[in-house]
């Protein structure tokens, strides 16, 4: 995804890097606009503050942001051995383990989307993600053996997690259960930062982590934020569509950035829990708009698992605002739910 202020020269790419960030100031932005950026969750984050009503010290705001991002990582990163998720993954007993309110909140949303997608979306897919080399352990780009896949599938299943919102206890029904929050933690991080900067009096902002984004109010020029959805082509970076947005979160999932190629076949990092293997269908990318980034992020991965047909039907059933980009021969075709179409009609550039 790409956020745009004006035609091409102000392009701000949001799938991991910024182009022309400095132009935000150079192109007539209000003079108390600011950009905060850094690294988190194995990717980059960017915050664009269109103005600074409370005249905060931006360095102090950045410190507040970094502290909160560390806390999110300390809950959800499988790359940190002492994180809340890692300690639960390592735990093989049958007792309920008390987790933070944040952990329970994100787990509840993940479980809800698993339920609505009948398990196509499933954070217990971790053993398969690791087996296919997309997890925290380094691995060669290799196709796993069939019996290793069937062994790993036995450890997967969201119904093997029980949790209680009041006691904040999480119970694993099988000892090997391994949770992977990669498909939702970036979104939750975006929400956490958005809420923090709102609490500091910023009402016009864009927050983005690794392409997951949340926007409010207007851009530094005082007009609506413009987001460009990338053409899902692994070989180039170009724009598929531009939309004007504010007061929403937006997430894009695709098979065009994180994958490996073996013997001419491209293997995506989205795993179908029923087959135990990366998904293989014509859906190249999905863009979801939702009130929170956590929800948009998780649904985007869910739709990548479901594919265009089942995904579209489910998006309709749940009144979601979704754009599917399907690859047909060498062309990219769009399929939008009426909610997305409506939005586009009203507010498109
Ligand atoms: P994308 O931007 O493509 O959505 P994310 O990092 O947000 O990428 O989510 C993809 C990650 O989600 C994978 O790397 C993997 O860790 C995890 N994942 C893969 N398949 C599933 C699934 N079926 N359900 C939930 N999470 C999954
Ligand atoms: Mg995602």
DSSP structure class, residue 76: H
**45 C-alpha vs ligand 2 centroid, how far in Å?**
14
Q: Does the pLDDT of residue 281 top 60, yes or no? A: yes
Nearest residue (CA) to ligand 1, atom 16: 182
Give bridge partners of residue 285 from the DSSP assignment: 254, 325
C-alpha distances (whole Å) from 143 to each of 121, 210, 220 are 22, 27, 47
CA distance 249 to 94: 37
CA distance 165 to 60: 33
Rg of the chain's alpha carbons, rounded to an integer?
20
Model pLDDT for residues 36-68, shown as the tens digit of each residue: 999 999 999 999 999 999 999 999 999 999 999
End-to-end CA distance of the chain: give it in Å, rounded: 16
Mutate to test the pocket of ligand 1, among 123, 183, 284, 287 (most ligand atoms within 8 A of CB): 183
- Return the ligand number nearest the Cα of 249: 2
Judged by average pLDDT, the poorest of 2-6, 28-32, 209-213 is 2-6
Q: Does the pLDDT of residue 269 top 60, yes or no? A: yes
Q: How confident is the model at residue 258 (pLDDT cuts 50, 70, 90)?
A: low
- Return the ligand number nearest the Cα of 269: 1
pLDDT value for 266: 74
Q: Does ligand 1 have an atom closer than 6 angstroms to the CB of 292?
A: no
Residue pair 290/296 in contact by the 8 Å Cβ criterion: yes
Judged by average pLDDT, the poorest of 51-65, 101-115, 119-133, 250-264 is 250-264
**121 C-alpha vs ligand 1 centroid, how far in Å?**
9
Q: Whole-model pTM?
A: 0.90
**32 C-alpha vs ligand 2 centroid, how far in Å?**
32
Chain-centroid distance, C-alpha 162: 24
Model pLDDT for residues 7-39, shown as the tens digit of each residue: 332 334 444 333 333 334 444 556 799 999 999
Model pLDDT for residues 136-176, shown as the tens digit of each residue: 776 667 788 999 999 999 999 999 999 999 999 999 999 99
pLDDT value for 75: 98
Nearest residue (CA) to ligand 1, atom 11: 183
pLDDT, the chain, mean: 88
Q: Does the pLDDT of residue 196 top 70, yes or no? A: yes
pLDDT value for 7: 32
> What tokens appear for 332 in the block?
């990219």
Q: Does ligand 1 have an atom closer than 6 angstroms to the CB of 192?
A: no
Model pLDDT for residues 323-343, shown as the tens digit of each residue: 999 988 888 899 999 999 876
Mutate to test the pocket of ligand 1, among 159, 270, 314, 325 (most ligand atoms within 8 A of CB): 270
Q: Does the pLDDT of residue 349 top 70, yes or no? A: no
pLDDT value for 155: 95
**183 C-alpha vs ligand 1 centroid, how far in Å?**
4
Q: How many CA atoms lie within 13 A of 323 on its CB side?
A: 26
Mean pLDDT across the stretch 243-251? 92
Q: Does ligand 1 have an atom closer than 6 angstroms to the CB of 123?
A: yes
Q: Does the pLDDT of residue 217 top 60, yes or no? A: yes
Q: Does the pLDDT of residue 239 top 80, yes or no? A: yes
pLDDT value for 220: 94
Q: Which residue has the higher pLDDT, 268 or 55?
A: 55
Mean pLDDT across the stretch 282-304? 96
pLDDT value for 136: 79
Q: Does the pLDDT of residue 229 top 70, yes or no? A: yes
Ligand 1 atom with the smallest distance to the CA of 122 is 24
Q: Does ligand 1 have an atom closer than 6 angstroms to the CB of 306?
A: no
Q: Does ligand 1 have an atom closer than 6 angstroms to the CB of 253?
A: yes
Q: Does ligand 1 have an atom closer than 6 angstroms to the CB of 297?
A: yes
Ligand 1 atom with the smallest distance to the CA of 301 is 4
Nearest residue (CA) to ligand 1, atom 4: 253
- Return the ligand number nearest the Cα of 123: 1
Q: Do the strands 97-98 and 169-172 form a parallel or antiparallel pair, or are they unpaired?
A: antiparallel
Ligand 1 atom with the smallest distance to the CA of 272 is 23
């Amino acid at each position: 995804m790409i956020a745009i202020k004006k035609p091409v020269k102000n392009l701000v790419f949001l799938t991991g890097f910024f182009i022309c960030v400095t132009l935000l100031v150079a192109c007539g932005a209000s003079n108390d606009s600011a950009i905060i950026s850094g690294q988190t969750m194995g990717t980059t984050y960017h915050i664009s503050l269109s103005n600074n009503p409370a005249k905060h010290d931006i360095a102090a705001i950045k410190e507040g942001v970094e502290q909160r991002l560390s806390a999110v990582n300390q809950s959800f990163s499988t790359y940190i051995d002492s994180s809340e998720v890692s300690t639960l993954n390592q735990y093989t007993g049958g007792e309920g383990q008390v987790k933070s309110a944040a952990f329970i909140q994100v787990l509840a949303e993940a479980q809800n989307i698993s339920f609505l997608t009948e398990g196509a979306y499933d954070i217990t897919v971790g053993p398969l993600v690791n087996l296919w080399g997309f997890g925290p352990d380094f691995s060669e780009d290799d196709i796993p053996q069939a019996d290793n896949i069937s062994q790993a599938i036995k450890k997967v299943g969201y119904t093997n997690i029980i949790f209680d919102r009041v006691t904040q206890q999480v119970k694993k029904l099988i000892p090997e259960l391994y949770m992977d929050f990669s498909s939702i933690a970036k979104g939750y991080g975006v929400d956490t930062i958005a809420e923090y900067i709102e609490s500091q009096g910023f009402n016009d902002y864009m927050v983005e982590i690794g392409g997951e984004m949340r926007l409010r109010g207007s851009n530094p020029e005082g007009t609506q934020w413009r987001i460009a959805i990338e053409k899902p082509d692994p070989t180039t970076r170009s724009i598929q569509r531009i939309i004007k947005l504010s007061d929403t979160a937006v997430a894009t999932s695709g098979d065009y950035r994180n994958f490996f190629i073996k013997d001419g076949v491209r293997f995506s990092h989205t795993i179908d829990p029923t087959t135990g293997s990366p998904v293989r269908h014509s859906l190249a990318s999905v863009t979801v708009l939702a009130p929170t980034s956590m929800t948009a992020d998780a649904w985007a991965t869910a739709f990548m698992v479901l594919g265009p047909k089942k995904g579209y039907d489910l998006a309709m059933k749940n009144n979601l605002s979704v754009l599917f980009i399907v690859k047909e021969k060498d062309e990219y075709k769009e399929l939008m739910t009426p909610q997305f179409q409506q939005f586009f009609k009203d507010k498109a550039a």
